[in-house]
Amino acid sequence: MTNNASNTALIQELKSIVGNSFVLTDNTKKQPYTKGFRFGSGDALAVVRPATLLEIWQALKACVAADVIVIMQAANTGLTGGSTPDGKDYDRPIVIISTMRIDSIQLIDNAKQIVGLAGSTLFGLEDTLAPHGREPHSVIGSSCIGASIVGGICNNSGGALVQRGPAYTELSLFAQIDDQGNLSLVNNLGISLGNTPEEILTNLQEQNYTDADVQFPELRASDDEYHARVRDVDADTPSRFNNDGRRLYESSGCAGKLAVFAVRLDTYPVPEKHQVFYVGTNDPAVLAQIRRDILSKFDNLPVSGEYLHRDCYDASKKYGKDTFLVIDKLGSKYIPKMFGIKRTVDRIADNFKFLPNKFSDRIMQYLSCLWPNHLPKRMDEYRDRYEHHWIVEMSNAGVAEAKAYFDEFFKTNEGNYFECTEEEGEKAILHRFVAGGAIGRMQTMNSKEMGAIMTIDVAFPRNEQDWFEQLPPEIDEQIAVKLYYGHLFCHVMHQNYIMKPGVDAKAVKNKILETFDERGAEYPAEHNVGHEYFAKDALKSFYKKLDPTNSFNPGIGKTSKCKHWHEPADK
């Protein structure tokens, strides 16, 4: 059978499994799945959108039998292109299996834990847990609006919550291909669901199990050591980063080298009391001292601590305003719908050559200018007074502890703070939340005057004092805009740059990364390697162990895209 004939036969088989309308082969319809949120794109033979876990399994069996590449994809919100094809140099056709129709979340142990199916989202998890007075393991970050639960686990994502660390579990259900090319289902959820893949997947999908079927093995459903790790402020290694071998375990950190059907995670009680403190200063050393004091001396760890530089404050205020208003007025659940509308508008606009690139962004930007100032007066006053802004959230007994500390600290140190009202606190966090998308909008609206975007996701050692970047003049002069924000307690920074026209962004990035290597920093910190960063040897070995035939998401971490990890010259 010729390749074309075998490809046609595979497409027909996939259609028989999930239905004709849920196998996409038209390039326009495939684009939302083949193009990354910010980075990476490529082609796929088909995009398959199954409705059940069993349909995923059946589609996987068909793909393995046809010897095609499979990319498991959830929300496709990553910033490093890790869940889309990248370029054309693959040795086999690619099938993308999108899991977003399978979004059920199941509660176990009185909502102290959850089981999230393949397409479940953090938005959905927040809503599911709210009536039970519980919170998720992670919160939505500025870089992953609409993110999936499983995608977070597969990429060890997040970590904004200081007490909880990155997304992690040792309890999951996944499919794996061995070195002989055989597909098998591995049930490490800790729930008795049957013996065959069909029984296991159907029973889980229909929640056909009892409390007696749920075991509690000595396996983690979260990174329960992180609170101690982040407190070690004198350690010369970062608190968290994607290459950290401590948190590479089966589905956790697999980056799509396994086909993950479900994960089991811990949840947390909603605090009885919480307070947001807004800190401003013109001296980064002030924030470094506060960070060390709170992490090493406080009885209570903060909930979060989100940093924002003044330039990023301005960019977020201007270019993140529309997203801010949508979430503030309509709620975060509307964001995925908004992004869907944007993709549709851009897809239609692309058919008209006279319309500008990213037409939806331009429309939304112009409309946002019609709305009055959306930020609280005290925040804007701090913007005028201070270069560095830090949003520190405390809970329960930590509220009084932080207030007493700040009152005393700012008697003798430069800067100041204020206690946010509930509205100010929500808007401060939301303002930081929309910062991640601001740089892209800024570049779109000023594309004639600016060059390429370049982003870095870096984790500095816990004992690093000079955390705020000061670039050498020969690098700095090539950059038009620098926008800094991040999770300061964890020493994880998101450093975003727009080059001057004609500047080679990759060359500049490599020079900046060299300075990070000299300082003992790790990168990426929480966005994973995707197709943008090299996977270090330990991470590459982990990938090869999980996927010896290199059939799931090949090329990740700039590794081989060829079967059995051969290099192209070996074909």
* Domain CATH number, residue 228: 3.30.465.10
CATH for 65: 3.30.43.10
Compute the distance between CA of residue 529 and CA of residue 82 in angstroms, rounded to an integer.
7
- Which residues, 6+ apart, have CB-to-CB distance to 220 below 8 Å? 168, 169, 170, 171
Alpha-carbon distances of 481 from 170, 369, 407, 504, 510, rounded to whole Å: 41, 21, 35, 15, 18
Mark whether 96 and 156 lie in a shared domain: no
In a domain, 479, yes or no: no
- Residue 322, amino acid: D
* Residue written as token pair 């080298």: 257
Domain with 397, as residue range(s), is 274-448
Mark whether 318 and 194 lie in a shared domain: no
The closest alpha carbon to 163, from 393, 388, 389, 405, belongs to: 393
Q: pLDDT value at position 146?
A: 62
Mark whether 381 and 393 lie in a shared domain: yes
Mark whether 293 and 413 lie in a shared domain: yes
pTM comes to 0.92
Mark whether 425 and 314 lie in a shared domain: yes
- Residue 371, amino acid: W
Q: pLDDT value at position 49?
A: 98
Q: pLDDT value at position 143?
A: 42
Give 498's strand partners.
453, 481
In a domain, 423, yes or no: yes
- Residues making up the annotated binding site are 74-78, 82-83, 141, 148, 158, 255, 260
Mark whether 89 and 111 lie in a shared domain: no
- Residues making up the annotated binding site for FAD are 74-78, 82-83, 141, 148, 158, 255, 260
The closest alpha carbon to 156, from 251, 263, 80, 79, belongs to: 251
Compute the distance between CA of residue 544 and CA of residue 549 in angstroms, rounded to an integer.
8
Mark whether 13 and 76 lie in a shared domain: yes
Cis before 238? omega within 30: no
> From the first residue on, what is the mean pLDDT of each consecutive set of 10 residues in the chain (571 residues)?
82 98 94 83 96 98 98 86 91 97 97 97 90 87 66 86 92 97 98 98 98 96 94 96 91 97 97 97 98 98 96 96 89 73 80 83 91 97 98 98 98 98 96 89 91 93 95 95 96 95 95 93 92 92 97 96 81 41
> Tokens in use for 179?
């070195």
Q: What is the dihedral of CA 370, 446, 84, 507, to 10 degrees?
A: -150
Mark whether 380 and 259 lie in a shared domain: no
Mark whether 278 and 425 lie in a shared domain: yes
In which element (H, E) is residue 115 found?
strand 113-117
Distance from first CA to last CA of the chain, Å, rounded?
21
The closest alpha carbon to 293, from 345, 220, 355, 231, belongs to: 231
CATH for 348: 3.30.70.610
In a domain, 408, yes or no: yes
Which of these three, 448, 470, 503, is where a domain ends?
A: 448
Q: pLDDT value at position 4?
A: 85
> Tokens in use for 204?
């889980």
Q: pLDDT value at position 1?
A: 41
Which of these three, 411, 433, 448, is where a domain ends?
A: 448
Mark whether 97 and 109 lie in a shared domain: no
In a domain, 147, yes or no: yes
Mark whether 400 and 265 lie in a shared domain: no
Compute the distance between CA of residue 80 and CA of residue 67 in angstroms, rounded to an integer.
26
In a domain, 505, yes or no: no
Query: How many Cβ atoms are within 10 Å of 236's Cβ, its own excluded?
Result: 9
In a domain, 39, yes or no: yes
Mark whether 370 and 221 lie in a shared domain: no
Which of these three, 448, 467, 496, is where a domain ends?
A: 448
Query: How many Cβ atoms are within 10 Å of 568's Cβ, its own excluded?
Result: 11
Q: Do the Cβ atoms of 414 and 283 come closer than 8 Å?
A: yes
In a domain, 454, yes or no: no
What is the Cα 109 distance to its own chain's centre?
27
Pairing of strands 388-395, 453-459: unpaired
Q: Do the Cβ atoms of 435 and 312 come closer than 8 Å?
A: yes
> Tokens in use for 374?
């959306």
In a domain, 66, yes or no: yes
Number of domains in the chain: 3
